[in-house]
Amino acid sequence: MEPGEVRILVVDDEDPVRQAACRALKNAGHVADEAADGRTALAMLRRSPYDAIVTDLRLPGAGGEVLLEEAFTHFPGTAVLVMAGPADIPSAVEAVRRGARDYIPKPFHPAELVLRVEKGLADRRLERENLRMRGELEERQRFTGLVGGSAPMQDICSLVRLVAPKSGAVLVEGEPGTGKKLIARLLHTNSPRKDRPLVSLDCGALPPALLEGELSARLTEARGGTLLLEEVSRMPGELQAGLLRVLREREPGRAGGSSTVPADVRIIAATSVDLASAVQEGGFRSDLYDLLGVLPIRVPPLRRRRDDIPPLVAHFVRKFCAGQALPPKQVSHDAMRRLMAHDWPGNVRQLENAVETAVALSAGRPQLDPGDFPLLSGPTEPDPGRGEIEIPQDGVHFNAVISDLEKRLILRSLEATRGNKKRAASLLHLKRTTFVEKLRKLETGGEPPHEAGD
């Protein structure tokens, strides 16, 4: 068969009908084979699948119903059309309901038969293309959390794809805020365990006396799924031994030597410190490190992948504009330049917080400027609406300038949240009580007196 040829099997026990159908399809440029009964048609179909089957419902041997069932079950990519006389129209309609593309009333005009067959083929091709595109889209969407096109992030994405289907433990290392928890979630959702729980335990958030019981409980909760151990370097030695036993035996063991836990759990360990150094310093078991580090993923800090900053900023701007029901905003060239120059010690989390604040402070303006990012240092371009700071010959009162900036931040945050104090405090990353106290001082004029410079 030549590439691009369409192969059609015509099945009918009436020679004139079958031959007329094949002749019409061949004249239209298709390859048409014929069978006079269901048994022959089934043998031909199993030997070499067809793009389409045009079959009568009343057939000797294996009947038309058997042929349809075989085609629907084992050859879902084949377009099936049924030919039916007036008495068989209800059966033809039922066949369409079950999966046939169309039915062709007998007697038929050759041109009508060709038209209906080609429409059925086109619909089937369109469905296959939609399925292909949907599969590609789902594949991309599974990894959209890894925003950024830098070489390091492409390597991370490839590694996640490779490691996710495996069953071994994974060690995710990276500075705070680099997205270790996101990577753990991607590993889980793209693994065979995706329909089972993903459970987290922060090993640094609980005292050792409570951590032991929590580990056993979380292992039980994560049965069949994934357990994420955050800051695993802070796990006490006794619990390290219990975890090691679970990983080695892959059968019910004991965590910390106290309670029985299931071992059918994939372990993902995350740490903000260099675990190899912790092993050398005696703070972490080398044998446990060897098991956890079989599939290592090291997430580089944002300062080492600055090319990811523009797409991350764009992603966060869209996110927070949508969350605040604002039209999309642009980021000025100067603001983006400064964002890329910043070292971001808090990594992606710090950048996200900065963008959230900037979107709030920009109020109704369509563009984010350097002044909307308070943590960015250095001179900014003049902006009449922003109150540019100038230092005259006789100097300025430092505390007065800081107080003025604080006042503007508070007022802008309230403007952005329509007076919601809790939300305004959150935008400025202040405790609500601290925010309310600062607001009270502004309203009552109770700011502390400004001190003169030396």
Q: Are residues 61 and 95 in the same domain?
A: yes
Total domains in the chain come to: 4
Distances (CA, A) of 65 to 57, 145, 176, 182, 212: 7, 48, 63, 51, 63
Residue 313 pLDDT? 92
pLDDT in tens, 111-143: 999 999 999 888 888 877 776 665 554 554 455
For residues 204 and 243, state if they share a domain. yes
CATH number at residue 409: 1.10.10.60
pLDDT of 66 higher than 70:
yes
Do residues 122 and 168 both lie within one domain?
no
Residue 143 lies in a domain: no
What's the CA dihedral at 385, 389, 393, 397 to 10 degrees? 120
Examine the domain organization and report whether 365 and 397 are in the same domain. Answer: no
Residue 258 counted as domain residue:
yes
**pLDDT single digits (tens) 359-377:** 988 877 889 999 889 888 5
Q: How confident is the model at residue 454 (pLDDT cuts 50, 70, 90)?
A: very low
- Comparing 23 with 415, which gets the higher pLDDT? 23
- 311 and 238 in a single domain? The answer is no
324 and 192 housed in the same domain: no
Of 98, 115, 137, which residue constitutes the final position of a domain? 137
Domain range for 101 is 7-137
Check residues 382 and 376 and name the one with the higher pLDDT. Answer: 376
The enclosing domain of 309 has a CATH number of 1.10.8.60
Identify the top-confidence range among 62-66, 233-237, 262-266, 299-303: 299-303
CATH number at residue 25: 3.40.50.2300
> Given 242, 273, 300, which residue is the final one in a domain?
300
Tell me: do 276 and 344 sit in the same domain. Answer: no
Of the three residues 83, 113, 137, the one that is the final residue of a domain is 137
Q: What's the predicted TM-score (pTM) here? A: 0.53
